[in-house]
Structure 1
Amino acid sequence: MNWKKPLLALVLGFQVVASGMHATTAEAIEVSSGTVNERIQVTPGVTYKDIRHGGSTPQAVRVLEMNLADPYTKVEVGVPDPLTKRATVTSQAKADTSPGHSVVGAVNAGFFHFDNNLPAYLLAVNNTIMNLGVISSGFDEYMSVPTAFGMASDGKPLIDQFAYQSSVTYPGGQLPISSINKARGTNEAILYTPQFSYESTRTNTYGMEIVVTNASKPVDQGLKFGEVVTGTVQTVTPYGVGNSTIPKNGFVLSLQGGALAAIGSQIKPGTQLQLTIDMEQKWRNAQYILASGPMLVKDGKVSMTIDPNSSRAKERNPRTAVAVNKDRSKVFFVTADGRQRGYASGMTLSEFAEYLVSLGADRALNLDGGGSTTMAVREPGDIYATLANTPSQPDERLVSTTLEAVSTAPAGEAVTLKAALTAPAIASGGTTTVSVKSALDRYNNVLAVNPAQVSLSVEGDLAGTFNGMTFTATKAGSGAIVVKYGQAVAKLPLTVNDTIKQIIIQPSSLPIGEGSTAQLSVKGVDGNGKTVALNPSVLKWSVSGNAGTISPSGLFTAGNAKEKGTIAASFNSISASIPVTVGGDPITVSNLDDVSQWSSSAARANASIAASDVMNEGSGALKLQYDFTPAKGEIAAAYANANQPMAIAGKPLSLGVWVHGDGKGHWLRGKIVDGNGTEHTINFTEEGGLNWTGWKHVQAPIPANAVLPLTFKQIYVAEASPEKQGTGAIAFDQLQAVYSNETSFAKPLFTDVPNSHWAYNEIQYWTELGVITGYGDGSFKPEQSLKRAHAALLLAKAMKLDTSHPTNPNFSDVPTDHLYYDAIATIANMGIVTGKQDGRFDPNGTLTRAQMAAILTRAYNLTGTIPQNFADVPNDFWAFKEISALAANGITTGYKEDNTFRPQNAVTRAQFSAFLYRILQ
């Protein structure tokens, strides 16, 4: 890559003029091969830039510049507490923010070990060793040459190599230590501590080793540079023996070379030794030292302490670096995103080094990159720094140490005010409310606003009154509401209109749960077709029927029973209305058939989505596969995300979904977003409650304070227990909004008998008793005509008749080997059914409604008459008495629209199930 020098002035904060304009926030100014996508003056001493590069290898670079000449700007190291705790960059920045100490920017810093979460290399704060770490071996490693960034004793930043000045004192002499926790070379004395990457020294046989135990204090953490640690020699290996085990409470001194071995041979087991770990003079008394690598830039030129042809250097990855300018007055945090096609390709280490040189870096040091690359920046008006770049994985990675840009500026008087109106255009008589978003001083500190000290006034052609922060207009006009707080002033444009031609109520219809509340909003449209805000309180509201009540402010409270009605509102002579349904049927949010509408993401886990090979309803289902093993005891989650927000109709009681569980006992949750943009986490199960296998319907209550309109964002499975952090898969089907606690979500009995089918309960009853069954394809065929043979079988089962030894009724078309002979013969013996005049039973003939009435009245001895006969069943009809008895007992009501029974119509399977069920009830 050819990063060009003209970018230097822009990035290092000098004034840049392009077409006569200064670079400002959110401007896109082409400078050489880069475009400044955004520039923020975070504080007087801290500047942030988002720089984009196009071409075949697009890049997205963020640069945070700290001018240490500013007395209130500091660069500090963020250290987790305890040291083994990992956190995201933004959460560490938030934790380190306090009054007078604001972390306004941060990046991920040194590498860390995934197995124990400790920093990989040296970390020292205020001359105290927080972590000794290791030094890599081989020129293809990140820190084969010990290099660090820190704030030196002179108060200036420093990027340079470091060397220990350590020694072991024994009776009669002193042995200098070459280095610590690195591979032993020729003529070297290497100290190995418990933080070495392995349990033993892994040295060859060309040397000797002294194993020391009972150290007076740990040498890896908490030891001050220059402090003396005593220990007792446990063993001394003869020359030619290596690879000693490193004791947990001590260290190993490994010697190579004749002169060093001669000294070591004088030391015997039981000898008391004194160990001193110290640092060379340029790093002594530094505020902190953070080791990392490789060094990328030295003296304004590419100078890498890694083989540029090694696999680590040649990989194109996201990158993070810290850099300083030549006079050490400025520090730069630099990140380059990567692994994201079309947005950011990432850089090799050589490309990154060249780019840092093009930014004007005098020295630069590589920090941990890849998925850890993160930059956080405090936006003006915010208290905490938030994510500024786009990491290569969906969520911020948990990291060890961070580097932080800190502002210690004291809070001053407000000079900048961010305020807004709830509505910039209202009707005469309407209201709008002033909200003060933030007040900032000259250092961009966020100030607590005392409402009593906020003054409000109007300018222009406006008239009205203030009640606290709310303005009520008394006439049409336009102008601005002037907000003053300290020295800060904000002017908020406002238009007042009195020519309302139309009222629009939102939402346009309201399905709502029983007993729930929903705040309705309204807007007006003037004669020019422009939208005008209407305060709900200036309208006259009403509700028809018993659907519920509505307050003067437009807050609707639903009744506790299923009901339909209308909500109406009027303004002067203009009115509008919307339908409201309380406790109605569920409304589908997503049938979850189309996998392309969803995507996966994960936190400390791996996740993917696919079409499920099992489904509950419809033509498909969504499968979420998860792997929680990377979490290692931290909370892990696997998400199925809606690619576009999915609308939730009205204000339901809950969201329900069918879940095919894997029995792993996780936590099933979801997220919705309300009309204010607030995210609400909802629980489909309690923690550990996803403990079933197969299909089950679960519901997540909707928070009462969620503001309309609602949208669905994601459903996910989470786990915090290490023993349950394995792999698995769950499936989802039919996500619905639920409006009534009485709604049944029993699994459909048959593919063609949904829960809403008019005879669902009756069919379910007989199915559970084993009286009726469906077909091999899972259907019931409820509207299919019932055959006479099937009617005999169903009746025999329902009456629990003994069909084992019936007398043969000698029907000519029902031989003794007929499939339903026993049932037909049994009910014929009882006189419940009779055959045809020609001696046939006609088993495959359809059963008419009249025949059904006759069979059921004989079977259950039904009697009675009805005051008004059916229009199509005269007194002389052959089944008149039976049909009348059936109606008298409430088994049938006929067809109400024309008072007919339709006796010659065929009986359907659903009708017979319902009539038989009603007799028993």
Structure 2
Amino acid sequence: MLAGAALTGAAPAGAAPEGGRIPSGVTYRQFDVRAAKGTVHVHLLTVDLTDRHVRVDLLTPGAVAARARVSAMADAAGAVAGVNGDFFNINETQHPGVEATGASVGPAIAHGRVLKAAVPTAQRFGPSLPPGTATTDVLGVGVDGRARLDRLTLAGSVRTPAGKLTLRGLNQYALAQGSVGAYTAAWGSVSRRRATCGSDTDRAAGCSTDTYEVQVRHGRVVAVSATPGSGAIAPGTTVLLGREGGADRLRTLVKGDRVSVRERLVPSASRIPYRFAVGGYPVLRGGEPLPGLDDNVSAVRTAAGYAHGGRRLLLLALDGATAYRRGLTIAEVAAEMRELGAVDAFSLDGGGSTTMVARTEGAKTVSVLNHPTDSPERAVANGIGVFWRP
């Protein structure tokens, strides 16, 4: 079990001014933890989800295929605090000439609106997943105001004059082989070519040349193309992108055909609709660490967890200052979250992405509370935002 101790001495550069207060329902503290590879410094936000002034939602850069700094996303959305979120398509070194999308790995829901579904497991960016976890795992908050862990899988279909197709992607940077995915205005303007690269077993596999796109506007096909496109997608328009067998099915469509597209994310553990959900992977369930968690690789980490039946949310970010950069293993993260009282806990993106921000009462912008290892602050795919309303 990790031992936590209250920090004494100066707060890190950029931290909330001494005496400054975050609005009621949100508390912040920092402390040291003795880990296997040395002392690390922890920043912790505790959010009272029963406080009627407080809510939690997804921070986004304005599109799925985009990136922004946590501080910029928080300020733009009016959040009083936040941390970085899911792992994301950060680079494309294995596919020269292909643009990295910046899109996140897992499902995403913001303000109760579904933004995207999860990429195939083999196409994931980030460390290896613990046994029994998947890219569909999320941490979310339902319309009942309670946090929970769940899995959100895509259930979608495309009805065409020739029959019904199964939809296997929604605003994803990678599609399964032989499948059809849908892209909406939420995707952004980045090229959709990345979605046809890689395979179901190898993210580094080449890009498919057997592709087809169909644009559907107000229920009718308005354009077709043999290659993935780019540019903003107009509201009311859905772009269907197919690869291999999926491309063959889309080639049967011509301009003027009637087409309807339906999609939703189906939870595995709860029937309560989600107001917010972000991807990552579980490390603690029912107060017990998941079996098979890595206990060798230490890194700067971000994690989230909850207690009191999902009524209290814990957001943890490690400090990336040189003195503390040894970090924690995933097994140590699970142990520390349990020590802090979490019943279930979830790992978010770490390393250079780990960022925690907060805005004290009277301040117009948030301050970065930890020392991110990247300088300047890394642009990321999304984050968890804490909001306060009078």
Q: Give TM-score, length-normalised by structure 1.
A: 0.32
> By how many angstroms is 1:117 displaced?
3.6
* Aligned equivalent of 2:347, options 366, 391, 397: 366
Equivalence map 1:739-758=2 (5 Å): none
Match in the other structure for 1:333: 315
Seen in structure 2, the aligned counterparts of structure 1 residues 149 and 266 have a Cα distance that, compared at 3 Å, is closer
Q: SS in structure 1 opposite 2:376?
A: coil
- 1:632-647 alignment runs, 5 A limit: none
1:85-117 CA-to-partner distances (Å, cap 9, x unmatched) read 6443233333333xxxxx332111223334344
Q: Does residue 1:42 correspond to 2:19, yes or no?
A: no
Q: d(CA) in 2 for partners of 1:154 and 1:339? A: 38
Aligned to 1:345, the other structure's residue is in SS state coil
- How far apart, in 2, do the equivalents of 1:373 and 1:79 lie? 16
Hey, what does 1:166 align to over in structure 2?
156
* Amino acid in the other structure paired with 1:286: Y
- Asked whether the equivalents of residues 319 and 369 of structure 1 are also in contact (C-alpha less than 8 Å), the reply is yes
Residue in 1 that maps onto 2:277: 289
Q: Alpha carbons of 1:336 and 1:272: their partners in 2 closer, same or farther (altered >3 Å)?
A: same
- Whether the 8 Å contact between 2:213 and 2:228 is mirrored in structure 1 is no
Q: 2:87 aligns with which of 106, 111, 117?
A: 111
Counterpart position of 1:684:
none
Show structure 2 runs of 5+ residues with no match.
9-18, 91-99, 183-190, 202-208, 231-238
Tell me by how many angstroms 1:73 deviates: 1.3
- The code of the aligned residue for 1:124 comes to I
Change (3 A) 1:198 1:268: closer
AA aligned to 2:215 is A
54 and 212 in structure 1: CA distance in 2 versus 1, 3 angstrom threshold: closer
Separation (CA, whole Å) in 2 of partners of 1:127 and 1:74: 13
Equivalent residue letter for 2:87: F
Residue 336 of structure 2 is matched in structure 1 by 355
In the other structure, the counterpart of 1:280 is 266
Instruction: Note if 1:299 corresponds to 2:286.
Output: yes
What is the CA–CA distance in structure 2 between the aligned matches of 1:362 and 1:323, rounded to whole Å? 7
Alignment of 1:115-264 (within 5 A): 115-132=100-117, 134-137=119-122, 141=128, 144-171=134-161, 173-177=163-167, 184=176, 190-192=179-181, 195=192, 197-200=194-197, 202=199, 213-217=213-217, 231=221, 246=228, 249-252=239-242
Instruction: Please tell me whether the aligned partners of residues 118 and 136 of structure 2 are also in contact (alpha carbons under 8 angstroms).
Output: no
Q: Write the letter of the residue equivalent to 1:37.
A: L
* Offset, 1:66: 0.5
Q: How does 1:859-878 map to 2 (within 5 A)?
A: none
* CA distances 1:759-818 after superposition (whole Å, capped 9, x unpaired): xxxxxxxxxxxxxxxxxxxxxxxxxxxxxxxxxxxxxxxxxxxxxxxxxxxxxxxxxxxx
Cα displacement (A) at 1:162: 0.9
Structure 2 residue identity aligned to 1:191: V
Aligned equivalents of 1:213, 1:394: Cα separation in 2: 39
Q: Tell me how far apart the structure 1 counterparts of residues 30 and 111 of structure 2 sit (CA, whole Å).
A: 33
Q: 1:138/1:303 Cα in 2 relative to 1: closer, same or farther (>3 Å)? A: farther
**Secondary structure, aligned partner of 1:164:** strand
Q: Which amino acid aligns with 2:282?
A: M
Q: Which residue of 41, 44, 51 maps to 1:63?
A: 44
What are the Cα deviations for residues 172-194 of structure 1, in whole angstroms up to 9, with x where unaligned?
75344456656648xxx743457
- The 5 Å alignment of 1:485-564 reads none
Q: Residues 395 and 46 of structure 1: is their aligned pair in 2 closer, same or farther, counting only changes over 3 Å?
A: same
Q: Which has the higher contact order (CA 8 A, sep 6+)?
A: 2
* Alpha-carbon offset, residue 370 of structure 1: 0.5
- Displacement of 1:50: 0.5
Cα distance 1:400–1:183, how it changes in 2: closer, same or farther (>3 A)? closer
Identity %: 19
Give the match's secondary structure for 2:357. strand
Listed as ranges, the gaps of 5+ residues in structure 1 are 4-32, 98-102, 218-227, 236-243, 257-263, 410-921
More displaced stretch, 64-73 vs 390-399: 390-399
User: Post-superposition shift, 1:330?
Assistant: 1.2
Paired residue type of 1:36: A
Displacement of 1:163 in angstroms is: 0.8
Q: 1:386: Cα distance to partner? A: 1.4
- Counterpart of 2:234 in structure 1 is none
1:394 to partner: Cα distance? 4.2
- Structure 2 CA distance for aligned equivalents of residues 266 and 338 of structure 1: 48
Which whole-Å CA distance do the structure 2 matches of 1:229 and 1:66 have between them? Answer: 43
Q: Deviations over 1:625-676 (max 9, x none)?
A: xxxxxxxxxxxxxxxxxxxxxxxxxxxxxxxxxxxxxxxxxxxxxxxxxxxx
Q: CA deviation at 1:54?
A: 3.9
Summarize deviations over 1:363-420 as a string: whole Å, max 9, x none.
22222211121112334564443121122244322333222222212xxxxxxxxxxx
Q: 2:135 is matched by which residue type in structure 1?
A: V
Separation in structure 2 between the aligned mates of residue 253 and residue 363 of structure 1, nearest angstrom: 38
Residue type of the partner of 2:109? Answer: A
Separation (CA, whole Å) in 2 of partners of 1:284 and 1:214: 34
Amino acid of the structure 2 residue aligned with 1:391: P
Summarize deviations over 1:468-515 as a string: whole Å, max 9, x none: xxxxxxxxxxxxxxxxxxxxxxxxxxxxxxxxxxxxxxxxxxxxxxxx
Q: Give the whole-Å Cα distance in 2 for the aligned partners of 1:61 and 1:254.
A: 47
Closer, same or farther in 2 for the Cα pair 1:121/1:300, shift >3 Å?
A: same
Give the 3 Å change call, closer, same or farther, for CA 212–64 of structure 1 in structure 2: same
Query: 2:139, 2:280 within 8 Å by CA — same for their partners in 1?
Result: no
What pairs with 1:852-891 in structure 2 (closer than 5 Å)?
A: none
Map 1:403-442 → 2, pairs under 5 A: 403-409=384-390
Q: Write the distance in 2 (CA, Å) between the matches of 1:298 and 1:354.
A: 11
Look up the match of 2:187. none
Number of residues of Structure 1 aligned to a counterpart in Structure 2:
335
Equivalents in 2 of 1:92, 1:267: separation in Å?
A: 40
Please give the alpha-carbon distance, in whole angstroms, between the structure 2 residues aligned to 1:284 and 1:166: 19
Root mean square deviation of aligned Cα:
3.9
* Post-superposition offset of 1:283: 7.1
In 2, the alpha carbon distance for the partners of 1:381 and 1:372 equals 27
Distance, in Å, in 1 between the alignment partners of 2:249 and 2:65 is: 38
1:857-898 per-position Cα deviation (integer Å, ceiling 9, x unaligned): xxxxxxxxxxxxxxxxxxxxxxxxxxxxxxxxxxxxxxxxxx
Offset of residue 272 of structure 1 = 5.2
Shift in CA distance, 173/250, structure 1 to aligned 2, threshold 3 Å: closer
- What residue identity is the alignment partner of 2:31? I
Q: Quick check: 1:164–1:280 contact (8 Å CA) kept in 2?
A: yes
Change in CA separation of 1:345 and 1:173 when aligned onto 2, cut-off 3 Å: same
Per the alignment, residue 297 of structure 2 pairs with 315
CA contact (8 A) 1:51 1:61 kept: yes
1:504-543 alpha-carbon deviations (Å, 9 max, x no partner)? xxxxxxxxxxxxxxxxxxxxxxxxxxxxxxxxxxxxxxxx
Mapping 1:814-893, distance limit 5 Å: none
User: In 2, are the aligned partners of 1:137 and 1:183 still within 8 Å (CA)?
Assistant: no
Check the 8 A contact 1:212/1:231 in 2, yes or no: no
Distance 1:160 1:197, change over 3 A: farther
Helix, strand or coil at the partner of 1:250? strand
**Which structure has the bigger radius of gyration?**
1
- In structure 1, what is the Cα distance between the partners aligned to 2:273 and 2:210? 30
CA distance in 2, matches of 1:266, 1:43: 52
Equivalent-residue separation in structure 2 for 1:147 and 1:230 (angstroms)? 34
Q: Is the 8 A contact 2:87 2:349 kept in 1?
A: yes
CA distance in 1, matches of 2:366, 2:116: 27
Q: TM (normalized to structure 2)?
A: 0.70
How far 1:37 sits from its partner (Å)? 1.9
Q: Is the 8 A contact 2:28 2:44 kept in 1?
A: yes
C-alpha deviations, 1:243-278, integer Å up to 9, x for none? x9656643116669xxxxxxx989945475433221
